[in-house]
Amino acid sequence: MKLQNSAAESNNTGQERGIEVYSQPKNKSYHFLSKGLCFLLCVLVPSCHRVWIREAYLKSAPKTRTDNVKEIIHGIEITDPYRWLEDGNSAETRKWIESQNKYTNVSIGSLAGREALSQRLTELMRIDNIIAPREHNGRYFFLKRQSNQELYVIYMRKGLNGEDEVLIDPHPLSADHTTSVYMWDVSKDGTVMAYAVQYGGEDERTIKLFDVDKREDLPDRLDKARYHSVSLKPDNSGFYYVRHGSDGGRLYYHAMKADPSSDIELFGEGYGPDKFIQAYLSEDGRYLLIYVWHGSAAMKSEVYYQNIAEKGPILPIVNDVEARFYGDVGSDHLFLQTNWNAPNGRILRVDLTNPARENWQEIIPECDAVLEGFSLVGGRLLVNYTRNVSSQLRVFEPDGKYVRDISLPAIGSAWAGGRCDSNEASLVFTSFHIPVVSYRYNVQKDTKEIWWQPKVPIDSNMFEVKQVWYQSKDGTNVPMFIVHRKGLNLDGQNPTHVTGYGGFNASLTPEFSVDAALWIEAGGVCAVTNLRGGGEFGEEWHKAGMLDKKQNVFDDFIAAAEWLIANGYTCPAKLAISGGSNGGLLVGAALTQRPELFQAVVCGYPLLDMVRYHKFLVAQFWVSEYGSAEDPNQFKYLYAYSPYHNVTQGTRYPAVLFITGDLDTRVDPLHARKMAALLQSASGSHRPVLLRYHTKAGHSGGLPLSKQIEDRVDTFRFLFWQLGVDFSERHSLTALSSPR
């Protein structure tokens, strides 16, 4: 489980998971109507008939016209009844969205439990919190949100014991607090900061430069666009950045005080929108590293470098190998992490004064754990592994000699990073029962001390965490974490929430989640599946769930639900699933392939029309992961599992809450619009199919804390309603008859 909508995740590439919740301003007239409906249901009607009347009322979902566009794709006729909903700006679509939001507000607005849920979620979320700091020249830069604030503020602290000084406060930037900020880079001397301004949940940002000593913006800024990297020169004379446009990514150099329109294009010509380019300066500013990723979680990446100090040309390190490479520079050596001839990963060392491939050295060979990343700190390599879906941190010398493992508090997730010229690393740890803790770790002395620990009001002793293995449809063993209160009664009646991701080489290691904590406090069960397509067991695990093998991911997820039922944790009437982005595709496929297995589904910012997905926004990035319907062979398997194309009229589908919004500039909201309309028309179960459609939220969040809490409340009310849970009493869970 993952704490959703945090500032630390605002630039995530698509790894959303867990119960995801976003906000929608309430229409006052419908709020009044929902109160009236609640009165009628709760006072005038006997309790034994309330569920029946609510279900009867909810049959009146907004009607959606069909145009039944027909086309022949590779010899197969496809009918698309809601093609017109792809145009999100048409007057008809906007009217339809308004009617859907009203229907959702009425449906959820009269449900019980708002006060108790709001109180508990406020206690859990409205706390002081700090994101792990970056240290530059004795100055610590970090994001901090106090308990009475809506947004994270950028702070700076001079020295460990200095006062926290506000640098950028986003609260005055928008009346509704939907404009946020985060750091992108800080100069080596700590006097200049590049930061991004994000409007709502858009992936596009405005980049600004800030004079830390004068506490004012510099005149240099980059207009709103999709930026993939910003890297300041150590002498503060300029910076390198990558901007992604309709023709693809391009690397530029901006000289301070120059007109951005005159910025020099250095690299990217010839690469199309399906390539992802990043560029970073080495710590000393001597070398510029350029990466070209062939799609998200690419099977291939290219690496180039330039000796800035000697004004040399841009030269290739590797651009002809079907493998991923990524690295960092220490002195004149490039350390490359790669899965080339090593599915679990290894690290190579390249002498940049003599970079020919025959001179490369393997310093850290592949092992039975998966190499997730590394950082050069204090002249050493701090390497992050995943072993049996849990983090392991190890320290090595630059020649690959093993130094030590770093002790961690428990099984969980850890990340660490720092600078090559400093012994101090920032280390972050979390687990299902441990909120995110930031440490200062000395890589030479092997000492660590807490830098920040949030005071989340939970009882960690009540959690029981276990990892189980189950067999998928083809016999593959798949792991799953199960978290619940100690002493759980395995009577098959526990409200259970299952989530997963299964894509883009992303690993779901144990993380703390407010949503999971509340669910477990209430007596429910949370399960996190580690599906094929992820990176938990290296590249082979990833390949086993991508392209023509994507169905394995859905089979793994369905098998997890079946295992939980067979082992007495729950039953279909008490089983809910959720996921976002690629995880939205996951639950969309699960609900269309096995509708009888689930009672309720939360599907956020999803991909659902897999025949046309590649035509919209930045979806060309994902063709290497999913394939494209333009290819006749890839079309066959995409069409076979595409949720939108596998809805059958009259099937008793689960209750579904779709979540999307206008400012999702990553996954086009047309997917949720079309699927909501189709399921409302097709479902024979009379369970609600709802759409929560935002105007200012998107794939990258964009909501202030109060709205995050409000939307979590509504999503929990939806799930508890469908699973027959009464949360009117705080921290209590009473089973009711589940709606049918």
Cα 532 from Cα 49, distance rounded (Å) = 44
Is residue 31 among the annotated active site residues? no
DSSP single-letter state for residue 440:
E
Distance CA 178, CA 698 (A): 11
Of the candidates 377, 315, 367, 376, the residue with the CA atom closest to the CA atom of residue 349: 376
Q: Nearest 5 degrees, angle CA 353-CA 354-CA 355?
A: 105
Residue 352: strand, helix, or coil: coil
Q: For 464, how many CA atoms within 13 A lie in the half-sphere containing its CB?
A: 10
The question of whether 6 is a catalytic residue gets the answer: no
289: which 2 tokens?
């590293």
Catalytic residue, from 391, 581, 642, 685: name it.
Answer: 581
Separation CA 326–CA 11 (nearest Å): 19
Distances, alpha carbon 720 to alpha carbons 82, 337, 524, 736, 740, in Å: 31, 45, 11, 10, 14
Residue written as token pair 């640098």: 167
Distances 458 to 123, 150, 390, 461, 520 between C-alpha atoms, Å: 10, 22, 22, 9, 11
Compute the distance between CA of residue 43 and CA of residue 36 in angstroms, rounded to an integer. 10
**CB-based contact 643:592 (threshold 8 Å):** yes
Number of C-beta neighbours around residue 453 at 10 A? 13
H or E stretch at 251: strand 248-255
Residues 6+ apart with CB under 8 A from 535: 297, 370, 372, 386, 505, 506, 507, 541, 542
Active-site annotation holder among 10, 231, 699, 738: 699
Q: In angstroms, what CA-CA distances link 430 with 15, 219, 409, 413, 709? A: 17, 40, 9, 5, 22
For residue 277, what is the enclosing H or E element?
A: strand 276-281
Q: Which residues are known to be catalytic?
A: 581, 699
